[in-house]
Amino acid sequence: MSYIKDMRRYIGHKPMISAGATAVVIKDNKILLNLRSDTGTWGMPGGAMELGENLEQTAARELKEETNLTAEEFTLLNVFSGNDFYFKYPNGDELYSVIALYLAKGVEGKLKITDGESTRLEYFDKNSVPELESRAKVLLDWLLENNYLK
């Protein structure tokens, strides 16, 4: 069982804070997005830290679990938190995320949905990005402002 799911047994749907990591994969100036099965919105591979992990390990695990990809290296780009990272899930769970954003480098593997958290995986250029989940939109805006996607 995941740490978040375990904590939810005690606090129900009440707001909680979760540290996690998001892995940015850019290929041919396109960003990898996943259509999330829990919200029906597009986002980036990532998720909550598990007990004993560091944030880079979280980014690597989430990338592998959600896309079947691995990376030789992860570069920390920024850490995000605050009201922009509040999210209420369709099931009523409320969460304030602290997100470490990593750029995945030397990405290898065959893109494949492996964990049921996504229904689609696709690369998009900056002009064709679909509507994103609110937290992912803030991350993408930051990436665009800092010229990670041209």
pLDDT digits (tens, 9 = 90+) for 36-61: 988 899 999 999 999 999 999 999 99
Residue 51 placed within a domain: yes
Return the structure tokens found at 140: 């993408």
CA gap 43, 33 in Å, rounded: 5
| pLDDT at position 66 | 94
Residue 132 placed within a domain: yes
Surface-to-core class of residue 38, CB atoms within 10 Å of its CB (0-12 exposed, 13-18 middle, 19+ buried): middle
Residue 18 placed within a domain: yes
Residue 124 lies in domain: 3-145
Residue 55 placed within a domain: yes
For the chain, the average pLDDT equals 95
Residue 150 placed within a domain: no
How would residue 1 be classed by pLDDT, with cut points 50, 70 and 90?
A: low
| pLDDT at position 150 | 85
The total of structural domains in the chain comes to 1
pLDDT above 90: percentage of residues in the chain: 90
Residue 63 placed within a domain: yes
Across residues 131-139, what is the average pLDDT? 95
pLDDT digits (tens, 9 = 90+) for 5-20: 899 999 999 999 999 9
| CATH code of residue 37 | 3.90.79.10
Across residues 130-134, what is the average pLDDT? 94
Radius of gyration over alpha carbons of the chain, in Å? Answer: 15
pLDDT digits (tens, 9 = 90+) for 59-115: 999 999 999 999 999 999 999 999 999 999 999 999 999 999 999 999 999 999 988
Residue 99 placed within a domain: yes
Residue 116 placed within a domain: yes
